[in-house]
């Protein structure tokens, strides 16, 4: 890895002062929050989603309990490190807290939200909790290695960055920041069709394993042009996203908008209350643009929100296995299908000549009540044997999540929000910190689990808790 950041993990040296600061901020935050609540006259989202809310962010967020099931509602009270000092963040959840403090509510909802009841979103997290480890002891784990290979290429750890659109909402040139951090850590980064930095510019990042995620929309020539550009940009893999031709039902998004599609006045005021975010994003770079596809949008629809709605309406709802066969014929390198959530489709993908699949329910943003990738992973691995690389995403926030996915048959995982928390907390350095935390957790977890390498992971190390066995 080239020049990973020096981020010590020393404990907080000045606890009373920081508690005092926290309390003062809580008081200010509570006052502002109460006034805002009265002013806005409504709660934004339900209690289960409280971590996502914008209200009372400043103070209470800092003193909020850390997300540890063992201490929730108990003592000692724990708090996340949301001070903005990346070096002192201990978990992905700390980076998330910083992101929550920095972003206005509508951007935060875009980052965090799922569709409808957010049952798929919740399942992605819960699915990991169904599995517990049974570690052997007295194993020499002194020489551990978290590196692996995918598509015959080395990967410093079995993690890739998932494609996410509209990242400029979180940090200026966030697509570039994500890709640079991935290159720093020797892992692949997938860039979305709906990204904001040009793929040709991202493709020039030295040492990057650049994957291009394709949404099939508009006339055929658009798809062909994007594939030709990804080829010319040297992308290692083309990821075709399935299951997203119909936009998921994200009610929170519509609640934030006027009938014209623009943000309503509450969101605009909220944005003004986040001057740091405002200065570094909209004021510095203007409204984000979908730089890779805006030229395919009619001239009178190229304004930011309008172009997003136009593209959404142009998604090819006839996308089928025939389309995949056509794309296979056009794309010379690795072809990956993303968004599959079952063994049968995985077996079909194998016969369609794809090089890998990503089991995914799109971070819970498409069909609600979808099974999670982890739920279908063991059966999918069984269906495709060892022939097809299987990647999974959804809910990966910890090294133990990565270990569980790999033990159940995945070759690697993708991280969406975990990387976005990093980028929203501190751009490239924030993503590097997220990757560093995950890598360190992974290395430690392997040792605690009594294994020396990724190749030694397997289902024999896991036990499924009985009450959820029906989901197998």
Ligand X SMILES: Cc1cc2nc3c(=O)[nH]c(=O)nc-3n(C[C@H](O)[C@H](O)[C@H](O)COP(=O)(O)O)c2cc1C
The answer to whether 375 contacts ligand X (rule: CB under 6 A) is no
Binding segment toward ligand X, per CB under 6 A, in 101-109, 228-236, 290-298, 388-396: 388-396
CA 129, chain centre distance (Å)? 19
Instruction: Please select the residue that binds ligand X; options are 103, 122, 222, 396, rule is CB under 6 A.
Output: 396
Site string for ligand X, 322-361 (x = CB under 6 A): ----------------x---------------------x-
The least CB distance from residue 113 to ligand X, in Å, is: 8
x/- map, 398-417, ligand X, by CB under 6 A = -----------------xxx
CB of 338 to ligand X, least distance (A): 6
Rounded least distance, CB 358 to ligand X, Å:
7
392 vs 451, which CB is nearer to ligand X?
Answer: 392
Asked if residue 319 binds ligand X (CB under 6 A), the reply is no
Write each residue from 109 to 138 as x if it is in contact with ligand X (CB under 6 A), else as -, in one continuous string: -xx------------x--------------
Report the nearest approach of ligand X to the CB of residue 415 (Å). Answer: 5
Stretch that binds ligand X, among 5-13, 58-66, 68-76, 392-400 (CB under 6 A): 392-400
3-state helix/strand/coil string of the chain: CCCCCCCCCCCCCCHHHHHHHHHHHHHHHHHHHHHHHHHHCCCCCCHHHHHHCCCCHHHHHHHCCCCCCCCCCCCCCCCCCCCCCHHHCCCHHHHHHHHHHHCCHHHHHHHHCCCCCCHHHHHHHHHHHCEEECCCCCCCCCCCECCEEECCEEECCCEEECCCCCHHHCCCCHHHHHHHHHHHHCCEEEECCCCCCCHHHHCCCCCCEEEEEECCECCHHHHHHHHHHHHHCCCCEEEEECCCCCCCCCHHHHHCECCCCCECHHHHHHHHCCHHHHHHCHHHHCCCCCCCCHHHCCHHHCCHHHHHHHHHHHECCCCCHHHHHHHHHHCCCEEEEEEECCHHHHHHHHHCCCCEEEECCHHHCCCCCCCCHHHHHHHHHHHHCCCCCEEEECCCCCHHHHHHHHHCCCCEEEECHHHHHHHHHHHHHHHHHHHHHHHHHHHHHHHHCCCCEHHHCCHHHEEECHHHHHHC
Query: Of the two residues 115 and 164, which places its CB atom closer to ligand X in the complex?
Result: 164
Tokens (6 digits) for 233: 């940009």
Q: Which is nearer to ligand X, 26 or 167 (CB)?
A: 167
Residues that are catalytic = 362
Give least dist CB 135 to ligand X, A: 26
**Looking at beta carbons only, is 365 or 381 nearer to ligand X?**
365
If binding means CB under 6 A, how many residues of this protein chain bind ligand X? 24
Binding flags for ligand X, 158-197, as an x/- string (CB under 6 A): ----xxxx--------------------------x-x---
Query: By Cβ distance, which residue is nearest to ligand X?
Result: 416
Would you say 227 or 396 has its CB closer to ligand X? Answer: 396
| Of 402 and 418, CB closest to ligand X | 418
Nearer to ligand X, 29 or 427 (CB): 427
- In the complex, least distance from residue 348 CB atom to ligand X, rounded to whole angstroms: 19
Summarize as ranges the residues that interact with ligand X (CB under 6 A). Answer: 110-111, 124, 162-165, 192, 194, 213, 241, 338, 360, 362-363, 365, 393-396, 415-418
């Amino acid at each position: 890895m080239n020049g990973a950041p020096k981020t010590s993990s020393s404990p907080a040296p000045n606890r009373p002062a920081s508690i005092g600061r926290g309390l003062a901020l809580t008081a200010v935050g509570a006052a502002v929050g109460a006034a805002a609540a009265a002013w806005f006259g409504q709660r934004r989202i339900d209690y289960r989603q409280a971590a996502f809310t914008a209200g009372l962010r400043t103070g209470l967020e800092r003193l909020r309990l850390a997300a540890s099931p063992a201490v929730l509602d108990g003592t000692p009270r724990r708090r996340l490190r949301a001070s903005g000092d990346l070096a002192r963040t201990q978990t992905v959840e700390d980076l998330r807290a910083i992101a929550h403090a920095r972003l206005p509510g509508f951007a935060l909802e875009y980052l965090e939200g799922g569709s409808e009841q957010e049952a798929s979103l919740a399942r992605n997290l819960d699915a990991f909790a169904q599995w517990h480890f049974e570690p052997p002891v007295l194993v020499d784990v002194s020489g551990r290695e978290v590196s692996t290979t995918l598509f015959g290429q080395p990967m410093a750890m079995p993690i890739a960055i998932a494609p996410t659109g509209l990242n400029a909402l979180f940090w200026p040139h966030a697509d570039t920041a994500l890709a640079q951090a991935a290159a720093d850590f020797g892992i692949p980064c997938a860039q979305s069709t709906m990204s904001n930095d040009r793929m040709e510019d991202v493709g020039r990042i030295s040492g990057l394993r650049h994957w291009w995620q394709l949404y099939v929309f508009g006339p055929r020539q658009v798809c062909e042009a994007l594939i030709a550009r990804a080829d010319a940009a040297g992308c290692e893999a083309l990821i075709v996203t399935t299951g997203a031709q119909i936009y998921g039902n994200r009610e929170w998004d519509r609640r934030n908008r006027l009938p014209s599609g623009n943000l309503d006045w509450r969101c605009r005021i909220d944005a003004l209350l986040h001057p740091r975010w405002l200065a570094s994003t909209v004021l510095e770079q203007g409204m984000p643009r979908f730089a890779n596809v805006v030229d395919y949008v009619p001239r009178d629809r190229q304004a930011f929100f309008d172009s997003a709605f136009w593209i959404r309406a142009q998604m090819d709802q006839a996308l089928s296995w025939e389309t995949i066969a056509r794309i296979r014929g056009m794309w010379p390198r690795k072809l990956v299908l993303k968004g599959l959530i079952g063994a049968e489709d995985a077996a079909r993908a194998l016969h369609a000549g794809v090089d890998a699949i990503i089991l995914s329910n799109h971070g819970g943003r498409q069909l609600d009540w979808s099974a999670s990738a982890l739920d279908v992973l063991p059966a999918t691995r069984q269906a495709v044997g060892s022939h097809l690389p299987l990647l999974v995403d959804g809910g990966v926030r910890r090294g133990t999540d990565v270990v569980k996915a790999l033990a159940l048959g995945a070759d690697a995982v993708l991280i969406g929000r975990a990387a976005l928390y990093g980028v929203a907390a501190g751009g490239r350095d924030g993503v590097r910190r997220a990757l560093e935390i995950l890598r360190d957790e992974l290395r430690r977890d392997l040792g605690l689990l009594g294994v020396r390498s990724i190749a030694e992971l397997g289902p024999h190390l896991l036990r499924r808790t009985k009450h959820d066995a029906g989901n197998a």
